[in-house]
Structures are given as C-alpha cells and as structure tokens.
C-alpha cells in the first residue's frame, strides 16, 4: 500500500489484503491525529541511525568532551540493546527492561553493579535520541517518558579523602624532589582548582599583585588527545584568591621560569621521557605537562608514602573546600572559589562542614546586643486605651 504524509510518499508491502486494510486504518488514524507515520514504514530508521543524526546536529553546540561522552555512552551501554532496532518499534516496556538490565550489569574493572549515576547518564543520552526523533516526526511518542530510574544517593557518589594541613605539606615535600610537582600539589590543595583547570594555567593567569589566579580555560582528554576548552560552567570562569605563602612560592617560581615573559606560555613544564641519565625525566619547557605520567609515577607513590594510598588528585579539591569551611568562610564564597554553578551544590556536597547548630550566630547576636544593654534600653512609651460603652 502507498500513502502520502505532507510531501513525502511512503509505502509498505503486505502479502495479505486484510493486513494491508488494517494497516491503512492505522495510517489514517495517525494522520488524523497529526502524528508521524514513519514508525509504520517497515524500513524506518534504526535507533543508531537516529542517534548519529542527533549527534551530528548537536556537535557544534557541545563541548568536545561532552560529545565524546555521548559517543562512548551509546557504544558501551545503548547500542548493544537498541542500536539495530527500528526506533519506532522500541516501547516503554523495552526501556524499563533495559534500565533493569543495566542495574544488574557488573562493571568491567571492579565487577560491581553499574553506579546509578551511570545508568542515569545512559538514560539521558537515550532520551536525547527519542526527543530528536519526535522533533523530526520519526516517532509519535517518546517511550522513555515516565521511566523510573535508580536513585542516586550522595553517599554512593561521594567518598573523598580529606588531608590535614600537615598531610598536605608531607605530600608536597615528597614531590619537591621533582619540582615543580610540590608547588603543583600545594596550589591544588589550597585553591580547590580542578585538575584540568590547574594544568591549563598560563603565565598571564597568575596575578601576584592582586594575589589571585584567573581560571579562564581547562584541559580535558578526548579521543584526539588533550584538548583546551572553556571551564566546566559559566561560574567556573572565576578569580581564585591565593594565600600569602602561595604568592611567595609562585613569585620565586616565576622568577626562575624561562618563559615568564610570554603571557601565553604554560605555567607548568613537561618532562623528557626518552634518553638516559639526567636527561630522562628532566624538565622540558617547550612541552606541556604530562598529567597522566605525573599522577601515576609520582603522585600516587607519594600518597602511599604519607599513608593515603586511596588519595585521588581530585581529593585535593575536597580538601581545599574543607579548609575553607573550617576557617569560617561563608558558604557562598566557598561556592564562588570552587566554581560551582550554585551554592546548593556546595551545600549538598560539603554539608557536614557547615554545622547547623546556630550557636555561633547566637553568640554574635549577644555580642551585638550587649553594648545596647549596657547603655540601657529605651523606655517603653505607655499607651492609654479608652473603651467606650457604645463600642465605638
């Protein structure tokens, strides 16, 4: 049978007339409701074809890291289930079964069930394809709508290691033999910069006069290697204050930096990983820092030596947040320094560092009221109230 929707001609072949008649009724019903009849075409697009079209359409608006994340998510968790399926044949029940299957799928490395946040990201990526399909009238409804997802508990996703000031110094001291690694760690632990942000620092980003760092770019890994881009969010583009001790260390470091006169030069040098003797591992100021090598060969061994074998570099960011909070810094300022999109994120993640007993607030209120009480409170004016018999 043949039919036309708009300017597009569609067809489907049946071997039995009754089946064709029933199909014609479905076509008429969908057209009358203003729905797409694409799902009624036998050779409609597969989920993978629509997903690739969706990615191509949004590639210009996505950061490279986000785009690569979608590609990897589809290949790993979505295409094995839906890739070859006609997109119009996927039902809500199929989506629910897939989510349940993901929840029971062990990870390749740890052999533990997939984290709820991973399942959520896979679902969001899948839902993106269905929304694109609806927009282009490839399907008449979104089968992902209303799907229940495993809840993501903060305790499941947040299990950081916090270092004390003494442990920070011990870790940095272990790395001072491979300068400037010690300064790199001190800067991370007392500013809270993300690893990509601190790697991307340039000479011009260090403002010693104002005692602050300018976070204007970040480095992240894509399939093409390390790529420079904008920070994680609008709030992540920020100015980060520096302790006086860090200013002194950075002043001495920049005085010895061979490219200090070039504002766009990387703040951190690379290393020579070829050759022999003193050459091997020596600083190479023409290269960018190899963070992966630093993390595996120097940071992790140093962490083990100070008794923190599970320490991640990102834990230095958590450490900075804990120190900011312990010093009495207001929550809003902590959020600004960390570059969080809103204070709710900071409060949710670092809630236990901001006590809710309000005792300090009441002490400040008492201190404010004490001088007034010493001077005496203003006399209270008496008021005469006359009550009339007629109620006026």
Percentage of the chain exceeding pLDDT 90: 48
Q: Which CATH number fits domain 165-353: 3.30.450.270, 1.10.443.10, 3.10.510.20, 1.10.1060.10?
A: 1.10.443.10
Which of the four pLDDT bands, split at 50, 70 and 90, describes residue 202? very high
Pairing relation of β-strands 218-222 and 212-215?
unpaired
Mark residue 376 as left, alpha or beta (left: phi above 0; alpha: psi -120 to 50; beta: remaining): left
More confident residue, 133 or 24: 133
* 54-63, 335-344, 349-358, 383-392: segment of lowest average pLDDT: 383-392
Q: Mean pLDDT, to the nearest integer, of 116-127?
A: 92
Give residue 389's pLDDT: 43
Give residue 241's pLDDT: 95
Residue 122 has pLDDT above 70, yes or no: yes
More confident residue, 140 or 194: 194
Which of the four pLDDT bands, split at 50, 70 and 90, describes residue 14? low
Q: Which CATH number fits domain 44-156: 1.10.1060.10, 1.10.150.130, 1.10.10.370, 1.10.1040.10?
A: 1.10.150.130
Mark residue 100 as left, alpha or beta (left: phi above 0; alpha: psi -120 to 50; beta: remaining): alpha
H/E run at residue 111: none
The SS3 of residue 219 is strand
The one-character DSSP state at 212 is E
| Distance (Å, whole) CA 103 – CA 117 | 11
Q: Where in the chain is the domain with CATH 1.10.150.130?
A: 44-156
Residue 391 has pLDDT above 50, yes or no: no
Owner of token pair 């597969």:
46
Average pLDDT across the chain, whole number = 83
Which of the four pLDDT bands, split at 50, 70 and 90, describes residue 77? very high
Which of the four pLDDT bands, split at 50, 70 and 90, describes residue 231? confident
The SS3 of residue 236 is helix
Residue 280 has pLDDT above 80, yes or no: no
Which of the four pLDDT bands, split at 50, 70 and 90, describes residue 106? confident
Residue 9 has pLDDT above 80, yes or no: no
* Structural contact between residues 117 and 152, judged by C-beta atoms closer than 8 angstroms: yes
- Residues found in the chain: 392
Q: Where in the chain is the domain with CATH 1.10.443.10?
A: 165-353
């Amino acid at each position: 049978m043949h039919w036309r929707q708009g300017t597009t001609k569609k067809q489907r072949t049946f071997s039995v007339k009754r089946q064709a008649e029933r199909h014609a009724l479905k076509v008429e019903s969908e057209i009358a409701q203003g729905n797409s009849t694409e799902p009624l075409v036998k050779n409609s697009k597969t989920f993978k074809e629509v997903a690739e079209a969706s990615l191509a359409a949004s590639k210009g608006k996505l950061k490279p890291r986000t785009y690569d994340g979608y590609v990897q998510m589809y290949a790993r968790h979505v295409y094995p289930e839906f890739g070859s399926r006609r997109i119009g044949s996927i039902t809500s029940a199929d989506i629910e079964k897939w989510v349940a299957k993901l929840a029971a799928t062990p990870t390749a490395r740890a052999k533990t069930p997939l984290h709820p946040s991973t399942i959520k990201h896979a679902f969001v990526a899948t839902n993106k394809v269905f929304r694109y399909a609806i927009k282009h009238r490839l399907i008449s409804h979104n089968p992902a709508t209303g799907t229940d997802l495993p809840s993501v508990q903060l305790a499941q996703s947040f299990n950081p290691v916090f270092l004390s000031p003494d442990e920070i110094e011990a870790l940095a001291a272990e790395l001072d033999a491979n300068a400037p690694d010690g300064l790199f760690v001190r800067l991370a632990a007392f500013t809270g910069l993300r690893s990509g942000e601190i790697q991307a620092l340039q000479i011009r980003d260090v403002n010693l006069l104002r005692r602050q760092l300018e976070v204007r770019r970040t480095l992240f890994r894509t399939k093409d290697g390390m790529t420079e881009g904008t920070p994680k969010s609008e709030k992540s583009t920020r100015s980060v204050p520096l302790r006086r001790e860090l200013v002194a260390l950075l002043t001495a470091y920049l005085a010895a930096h061979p490219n200090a006169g070039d504002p766009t030069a990387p703040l951190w040098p690379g290393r020579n990983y070829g050759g022999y003797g003193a050459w091997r591992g020596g600083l190479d100021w023409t290269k960018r820092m190899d963070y992966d090598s630093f993390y595996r060969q120097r940071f992790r061994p140093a962490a083990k030596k100070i008794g923190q074998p599970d320490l991640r570099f990102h834990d230095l960011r958590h450490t900075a947040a804990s120190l900011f909070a312990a010093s009495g810094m207001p929550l809003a300022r902590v959020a600004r320094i960390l570059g969080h999109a809103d204070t709710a994120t900071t409060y949710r993640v670092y809630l236990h560092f901001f006590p809710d007993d309000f005792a300090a607030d009441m002490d400040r209120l008492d201190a404010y009221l004490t001088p007034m009480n010493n001077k005496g409170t203003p006399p209270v004016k008496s008021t005469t109230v006359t009550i009339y018999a007629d109620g006026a």
